[in-house]
Amino acid sequence: MIGLLTVLGLVVGATTEVVLRDALHHQVDNELTEASRRAQYTFGYDPGPPGNRQGRPAGSPRPGGGGGPAPGQPEDTVMVLLGARSDGGVVKEQDATFTREFETLPADALAVLAAVPRDGASHNRHLGDEFGDYRLTATAMSDGSVVVTGLPLAEANRTMLLVAGVVGGVLLLMLVAAGAAGAVIIRRTLRPLDRVAATASRVSELTLTRGVPELTDRVPEADTDPRTEVGQVGAALNRMLDHVGNALEARHASEMQVRQFVADASHELRTPLAAIRGYAELSRRSRTPVPDEVAHVLRRVESEAQRMTTLVEDLLLLARLDAGRPLAHEPVDLTALVVDAVSDAHAAGPRHDWRLDLPAEPVTVTGDAARLHQVLANLLANARTHTPEGTTVTVGVARDDGHAVLRVTDAGPGIPPDLLPHVFERFARGDSSRSRAAGSTGLGLAIVAAVVAAHRGEVTVDSGPGRTAFAVRLPAPAPSA
């Protein structure tokens, strides 16, 4: 708005200056015509009747002429006769006697006057710093002489500068006033839009990916008037929030039903699975000899029952974590936990090269020791299962900026790039590049992610050919003195 007003003000100011300049020059030209007639009379020429305008041939010389300026000639008028005889100069008034006489012009000013076109028209010329700008006209006489007459433009220039200053000052004040008033009006008009934006900002800061969705923020009723553009935006935002809130509530209800079903099914399956395993083991311990074929079948039944029991326990643990079941909060020595877990992993996979990278001081966190042991056991089982025998697996613990960092790094073939973003999802399984030597439920890393999130930590993975590193960051208080 300010830019547009500035352009409009400049256009109006420039137009005013142009029109004023033409008007002032026209006024000077009228005065210059009369001054030229008086100059011709002064130098002894007959200017002819008053209708004899500039550009017409002047009359013949008349008797007399010369001397001082003709009566009525304004002060600072230039009157110069150029030709066989030279005369004239600048009209000056003597303060003591109030008489007027000529002041001789310098040579450079006379050179400028001699160069004025002899067409009877008016021309602007600069006669030096002493005299300034003049409006000049040159009239050819019948004997070949030239009478050059000029009036100063100082007054016209001062008038134009004064008008330019006034217009510029008024324009500046107008722009300041328009800017202040426009800022107040626009801010007041857009205040409802600020409230709409504040509502959208609060909604954007909500955590809607987990937990019970609470999308209660709405645009105030006063800012939803459909007769205004801002009101239409506010009403549309409220409708959108209603739809999103309903969708989130439906999604949460569906998730809770699925989680409850998984928890109930897992809990109910534990008893029949335990019975199947018990009966299979009891059958193998019968005093009556069991045929080898039947014994093999019973061993397979017991093995699959054990595998299904593990799957049910994992699903039940995930369901409890999703439901927000509280975990134990007690000091846990991660260093000792790592030593025990690596010892167990060495017993389960003696053909792998297990290495420890432990700090000089123990690293302690607050959490559930059993669940953290399960996190480490799952990571080590993942490394043992998905890498060939002889692979080096390094387990390290360190303290970093208020966090305890647990790293499990193996030198295996790596995780395929297309699988890497999904390794912590449930039932995610690797392809042949990380083939399993034993069965897997596909829930190990999902349990790792859920347990770490329940401890307010994070787990990340970085994998490439020849190196796969899992890093678990857990909040850890600073060690006491």
Tens digit of pLDDT for each residue in 317-373? 777 777 667 777 888 888 999 999 999 999 888 999 999 988 888 888 998 888 899
Q: Considering Cα of 224, then 228, then 229, then 232, what sign does the dihedral take? A: positive
pLDDT exceeds 60 at position 481: no
Higher confidence at residue 199 or residue 289? 199
pLDDT tens for each residue of 12-69: 999 999 999 999 999 999 998 888 888 888 887 777 676 554 444 445 565 555 666 7
Give the pLDDT mean for 93-119.
80
Is the pLDDT at 433 greater than 60, yes or no? Answer: no
> Quick check: 435 pLDDT over 50?
no
Of 43-57, 104-118, 269-283, which gets the smallest average pLDDT? Answer: 43-57
| Residue-wise burial string across 317-327, b where 16 or more C-beta atoms lie within 10 A, e elsewhere | bbbbbbeeeeb
Domain ranges of the chain: 2-160, 206-325, 330-475
Q: Tell me what the pLDDT averaged over the chain comes to.
A: 82
Fold of 206-325: Helix Hairpins (1.10.287)
Residues ≥6 apart with Cβ < 8 Å to 367? 327, 328, 329, 330, 332, 455, 474
> For residue 162, what pLDDT band results from cuts at 50, 70 and 90?
very high
Mean pLDDT computed over 179-200: 88
Tell me phi and psi for residue 13, to 5 degrees: -65, -45
Burial profile 69-88: b = 16 or more Cβ within 10 angstroms, e = fewer = bbeebeebbbbbbbeeeebb
- The full length of the chain comes to 481
- Does pLDDT of 414 surpass 80? yes
pLDDT for 478 equals 64
**Residues 215-252 pLDDT 10s:** 788 888 888 888 888 888 989 988 998 888 888 888 87
Amino acid (1-letter code) at residue 77: T
- Fold (topology level) of 330-475: Heat Shock Protein 90 (3.30.565)
pLDDT-based confidence at residue 95 (cuts at 50, 70, 90)? low
